Amino acid sequence: MSQKRMESNRKMTVTSASGPVNILMVDDQPAKLLSYEVMLEELGENLLKAASGREALEILLRTDVAVVLMDVSMPELDGFQLAEMIREHPRFQKTAIIFISAVHLTDLDRLKGYQRGAVDYISVPVIPDLLRAKVSVFAELHRSARQLELLNIELRRLSHSLMTAQDEERRRIARELHDGLGQDLTAAKMMLGSLVQPNQLKDPRDGKTVSEVLSMMDNVIEQVRTLSHLLHPPLLDEMGLLSALRWYTDGFAKRSGVVTVLAAAKDFPRLEPELEMAIFKIIQESLTNVFRHAEATEATVQLEARDGQACISIVDNGKGIGSSDELHPARYGIGVMGIKQRVEEFGGSLTLRNTGAGTSVEVRIPLPVPPQQVPANPRFSKLSVRPA
């Protein structure tokens, strides 16, 4: 998709978010619905009408509604029951519900309404200016929340694009190091070895110098290869996450001196390349933090698939990460923020805690579920509407 097309779509999304919102009016008496419509039409919002609680549910299930204006006294399904059903669904947790009643006007009635999730309770006769003011406030709040949600979606999309670009750049640099600089160094070492043979040297000290140079080049070649693999391990693409993690934890233990144990379930499944990369980077960054900050001598990495989630934990025996106040997200360092960002990108959760003898990093990431195995939402079924 071209940049111009993407920008056009973004502007259309922002425009739709700032446009009119839906106001649902629920009453079994058509005359009352007409009077509410007359009172609210100057707000310029989309006014929807329902003559029963069942019809209101049908509208709610297919439409994004900002405010529900409903009568308390209705046959079959009264306002209190309807409000309770609406609040049971996560999608409608923040939908503003305003009760209107000419009969249920006691303090107990009002209390019952607020307990069912109402944000306001208006008595009849309705004052038009007051009703417009109340509905307008909640409509504007919903519009602002919708705009914020869309901006957050755009921010997550940009964040994902940046992270993907960084991973691709690491892959490119790794390939250049391995195929470019690494190969050139190997060729230079071979040429040096063929040009200068030990039996051609007049001074034995020259032979020692050549041996030292060749050894130094071996070390440089090994460092280039290690750096290339750390940026993007070929095993991750070729053999999968577990093989890459075994290679990395073994190398980390040798380089850092931290005894590192990988406890991974043998039946851990192959995942999408992006998710495997994310898990690898999460563990890599966590162990880097152990080396830099924990002053630990041991670290354990656990990886398993349980209850439809990839469960990852990195535990060390270091000095810990301070008091509970210091675990607030605002105090996270760049490394932990990078981990948090990767986890949230896949809808997971991150928990940091002191174990009393070190630090524990726990990550849970939902694993993809085949469509036929997606469980039904029991709370949604409560709002399903049977044919009248």
For domain 234-388, give its CATH number from 3.40.50.300, 3.30.565.10, 3.40.50.620, 3.30.300.30: 3.30.565.10
Q: Break the chain into its structural domains and give their ranges.
A: 3-154, 234-388
The gap from C-alpha 357 to its chain's centroid, in whole angstroms, comes to 30
d(CA 124, CA 200): 110
CA separation, residue 385 to residues 13, 58, 65 (Å): 30, 7, 17
Phi, psi of 139 (to 5 degrees): -65, -40
Residue 110 burial (CB < 10 Å; 0-12/13-18/19+)?
Answer: middle
pTM value?
A: 0.51
Residue written as token pair 């301070």: 322
**Topology adopted by domain 3-154:** Rossmann fold (3.40.50)
Please give the angle made by the CA atoms of 67, 73 and 75, to the nearest 5 degrees: 105
- Structure tokens of 327? 């675990």
pLDDT of residue 2: 43
The amino acid present at 45, given as its one-letter code, is E
CA separation, residue 171 to residues 177, 181, 233, 270 (Å): 10, 15, 9, 20
The packing angle between helices 53-62 and 79-88, to 10°, is 20
pLDDT of residue 197: 59
- Structure tokens of 338? 């990078």
d(CA 304, CA 362): 12
Q: What is the pLDDT tens value at each position of the chain, 388 positions in all?
A: 444 444 444 444 444 567 889 999 988 888 988 998 999 999 889 999 988 888 888 888 888 888 888 888 887 778 888 888 888 887 887 888 888 887 777 778 778 778 877 788 888 888 889 889 988 888 888 888 888 888 877 777 776 677 677 767 767 776 666 666 666 667 766 766 665 555 555 555 555 666 777 677 777 777 766 676 667 677 777 788 888 899 889 988 988 899 999 998 888 888 888 888 889 889 988 998 898 888 899 999 999 998 889 999 999 998 887 654 444 544 555 668 888 888 888 889 998 888 888 899 999 999 886 545 445 444 444 444 443 3
